[in-house]
Structure 1
Amino acid sequence: MKHDHSPVLPGAGATDYARYMRTDVLLDLQRSSDEVVHRDELLFQVVHQSTELWLKLAAAELAEATARVDAGQLLAAEALLVRATLAVRLITDELEMLRFLSPVDFQAMQPALGNGSGAESPGWRAVHGASRQLGRAFNKQLVTRGPRAADLRAADLSDPLPRLAEAMVEWDERVSVWRVRHYQVALRVGGHPPAGSPGSPANMLAKLAGHRFFPELWQARLRPTTNE
């Protein structure tokens, strides 16, 4: 018996897979062979474009996690935050692809990049905003439920509130690891002078490596636990 694989979904594309995934558009987002000034532009664009997609997902998961925290559904919020954290782990691993890009090759590509900078990433801006919203929602839960952030370190992890706090610390740490790796790649591939050099683009990356979205949760780990 023959199976009919004719597309039934609306849109462009020869198959339903192409129409649902919008592959015709997706695979046309990179510069064509007639446009590139260096063949490794494809590598550079694929890494950064896929990063933007993962960050879009991470920001959506953070936004939904915040809504769940506001609703008191802390276990659901934790699961969503774990998903967002995995997305950041994946884009950190993606940076390994850029070690195949030499400083000479990157300099040859720079005219095609114009004045573009990773600091302009819409994905990172969305993630930053969503992280701050999550922090505010979590702090409201602390006020409502009673325990201070300083008490969470010693709390029973069967309680959803400290479990969510641990997931938030893990998120913070994974973002920091990505920033450190990105900083190292900028030095190795971009040929930037190291942090501390006047005018070096690496200065901002180095500064952000120590940034924390939830500093009170990290500070809680430095305080001694008291037994009452």
Structure 2
Amino acid sequence: MDREKYYALMQAPEALDYELYLKTGSLLACQKPFDELCNRDELQFQVVHQVEELWMKLMAYTLLDVDDYLKAGETHRVVTLLGRCHRIMRLMTDQLDLLETMSPKEYQEIRLQLGNGSGQESPGFRILLKLVPELWRSFEQRYLVAEGRTVRSIYDEDYRHDAAYAVAEALIEFDELFGKFRWHHLFLIHRSIGMGAASLKGRSVDLLQAGAKHRFFPELWDVRVAMTDDWGGQYGRVRDSIGHSEAP
């Protein structure tokens, strides 16, 4: 196979309308030229991380609309758009699996190209960390304060499986998926460089575990604990086995 011929085709200038609209020339020039790659896996490493940034850009753009619809109480719009973000989060998590096809040795070679770079410097990730908490404030004002309700009433005391409940569940699903993404990324690091190693910032990557335990909407998680504890207080935390029965 003529490798050089196909390399040229992959880097051909924009000509057709599809290429011009998507700016494929610029997009495909965002990676290193083939002859400058440090090894055969570096292109994959760049592409996966660049695609992650594009997904996070779309997610942040979508969440701005979600915030507007939260404030307006447009529940169907909120749930639909958060559903889109849920799909994006799953795509982001799944595509990390590609990076597990690298050997630790090849990753070490790629790591030399990163300078002092770290995933914590991702612009999309940093924006999401700032943007997502705003959603809770909007939910709280529109679905709790304005309606004279609490999280506990939505889930328990005044449970109706209504609009407020649907939005709360969409928010906690986003929180769960974001956490799964962070844990998946943590396992990728564990597999590639080991958890006891120092990051390119000189800090132990073990510190990333604290971030993976972070929750955007702790109130939605805590209500489950409160309900379960109250249930245990009413029905008993330790009870007879359902297989136990008194003799007739």
Matching residue of 2:154: 152
Cα distance in 2 for partners of 1:138, 1:200 equals 36
- How far the C-alpha of 1:203 sits from its partner, in A, is 2.2
| Aligned-residue RMSD, C-alpha | 1.9
Write the letter of the residue equivalent to 1:96: D
Q: Does structure 1 retain, via aligned residues, the 8 Å contact 2:38–2:110?
A: yes
Q: Deviations over 1:41-87 (max 9, x none)?
A: 10101110000111111111111100111112122111111111110
Cα distance in 2 for partners of 1:45, 1:36 equals 10
Q: Does structure 2 retain, via aligned residues, the 8 Å contact 1:187–1:194?
A: no
Q: How do 1:165-204 residues align onto structure 2 when only pairs under 5 Å count? A: 165-193=168-196, 200-204=203-207
- How far the C-alpha of 1:173 sits from its partner, in A, is 0.3
TM-score by length of 2: 0.80
- How far the C-alpha of 1:150 sits from its partner, in A, is 1.6
- Partner SS state of residue 104, structure 1: helix
- Partner SS state of residue 224, structure 1: helix
Matching residue of 1:92: 93
Write the letter of the residue equivalent to 1:153: Y
- How far the C-alpha of 1:14 sits from its partner, in A, is 0.9
- Partner SS state of residue 30, structure 2: coil
Q: Deviations over 1:163-214 (max 9, x none)?
A: 000000000000110111100100111334179xxx6542232111110000
Write the letter of the residue equivalent to 1:44: F
Q: Does structure 1 retain, via aligned residues, the 8 Å contact 2:195–2:206?
A: no
Give the total of aligned pairs: 212
Gaps of 5+ in 2: 1-12, 231-248
Cα distance in 1 for partners of 2:33, 2:204 equals 29
Cα distance in 2 for partners of 1:110, 1:23 equals 27
Q: Deviations over 1:81-118 (max 9, x none)?
A: 11111101101000110111111111111221111100
Gaps of 5+ in 1: 1-11
Query: Does residue 17 of structure 1 match 2:18?
Result: yes
Q: Does structure 2 retain, via aligned residues, the 8 Å contact 1:92–1:181?
A: yes
Cα distance in 1 for partners of 2:68, 2:196 equals 42
Q: Does structure 1 retain, via aligned residues, the 8 Å contact 2:66–2:82?
A: yes
Larger gyration radius, structure 1 or structure 2? 2
Cα distance in 1 for partners of 2:132, 2:184 equals 20
Cα distance in 2 for partners of 1:45, 1:171 equals 26
- Partner SS state of residue 116, structure 1: coil
Q: 114-123 or 141-150, which moves further after superposition?
A: 141-150
Q: 34-43 or 45-54, which moves further after superposition?
A: 34-43
Cα distance in 1 for partners of 2:95, 2:124 equals 15
- How far the C-alpha of 1:120 sits from its partner, in A, is 0.3
Matching residue of 1:55: 56
